[in-house]
Chain A
Amino acid sequence: MISVEVQHLSRRFKEIKALKDVSLCFEAGMIHGLIGPEGAGKTTLLRTLLGLLDCKEGHILYQKDDAPITLKKVRAHIAYMPEKQSLYGDLSVREHLHFFKDLYGIPPQEFQQRADVLLHLTRLEKFKDRAARQLSGGMYKKLGLMCALLRAPQMVLLDEPTNGVDPISRREFWAMLHELRFEKNITIIMATAYMDEAERCEKVHLLEGGNVIDSGVPQDLMRRYAVDNFDELFIKKAEQA
């Protein structure tokens, strides 16, 4: 089980401050939501957690099974699904699985078992032979997630996986995340610009303009701010500011 603590993280791209003194705690085995509009700093934070961007100012502390671990070592246990996925339109679902199996060097016997579980979880069994470009928006996202999960990570970082996906696929995707969290006990960090997705997380971290506005259990936050949804909460915060 992996947990991450971010301490006073700042990040600048030329004159733009993408993250401003961000401190957050991602406890193990939970679904965390990074909630905020475009430009809030969600992708920068995810990419820094993964080591794709250097952590120049601030600290990120990783723990695996309650013991400190370096980024270099922990990376093998983290899967990342970027917003724009690198899948191959001409390859089928099955061919994608085989490609990522070879890429990650997964032994054949383990691969078969994992692939079967993932195909069942994503309900893509019936579409094994369909080319990626012929999948619906929701199925395409699920294929991306399946490829990311193939090496059995203990933490998954998802960057706006439900963007442009219809409500049915979106609800299925969320059901799948909860099933995954329940059955595999992995830590999930999901970035989204959609406020209505905040309620579906176990813990949310609200970002705007590179700042963390607040963190907590969705229902506790809504009660504390006396609001019915996260749109209202952001508006209330802006009014207070």
Chain B
Amino acid sequence: MGFENKRTKFAVLAALFVLAAVLPLFLDNYTLNVLWNAMFYMLLALGLNIIVGYTGLCDLGYAAKFAIGAYTTGILIKTFGWNFWLTLPVSALVSALAACVIGAPTLKLRSDYLAIVTLGFAEIVRISARNLDITGSASGINAIERPYFFGIHLTKISHWYYVFFALVIVFIIISKRIRYSRFGRALAFIREDEDAAQAMGVNTTLFKLYAYIAGAVLGGITGSFYAVKMTSISPGSFDFTQSANILLAVILGGMGKIPGVIVGAAFFAIFPELFRDVPFVGNMRMLFFGLLLIVVMINRPQGLWPEKPVKR
């Protein structure tokens, strides 16, 4: 469904915006929570999209990035009594540092090695979290206090729906700005042909590191919000399945395309829920979901979202 012109595009986006904004008035808490979960995956997918979709790096450990954000916020609130909003910059900083530590030595290598290193790093993060005292070991961090936003105590699911809705919009704007900038184009050049990108003067190692940091910071911020929404975090929330899910959402929708990534994440979060109550199928819904993924990937290896039509 290629948008024919800017006006229709704007109208569609405005309608979507209004629809999303009024939805909580009509929906029950369970449905809202499903939608919240969808938006949570959208945030993670948008963050990972900068690494995987824009730059073409393979990251198999994105869960570690949002674990770092979640634990940073959790520890600062629980152990040091910080205000949630103040933990955000720290969370971003810690995520960026972690991305440097893992990215700087590995991004010089080919992408395949990065996949293995990120996978290993994610396990290190998860196992450390399970064994350290400060992270609450296996039981994690519980009863994290929920924050206030201009006097409103964010306790209801509808509050979190709006918070994440706003975050999705912010992440989309960030993604768009990156894509249509010198920085974002350099990432696209690296993805398309690393040698040619070098030949055009792109410091490929540095730009890959920037992309990696940007993706990690978005993941970390998402993790921070996740921690206060859930009020408890434990190592189980950040295992390899989680990383694989996010990667799948990005690939399913169409790597690098923002609407595609959004649709992919939504599909990923909502589809299994739709079948939860259907008898017989309900128990095997993940099996059907897996089959569906295979069908989609065979028929549309470029992802669900269509190619951009050529402007003439």
Partners in one complex: no
Chain B residues within CB distance 8 Å of chain A: none
Chain A residues within CB distance 8 Å of chain B: none
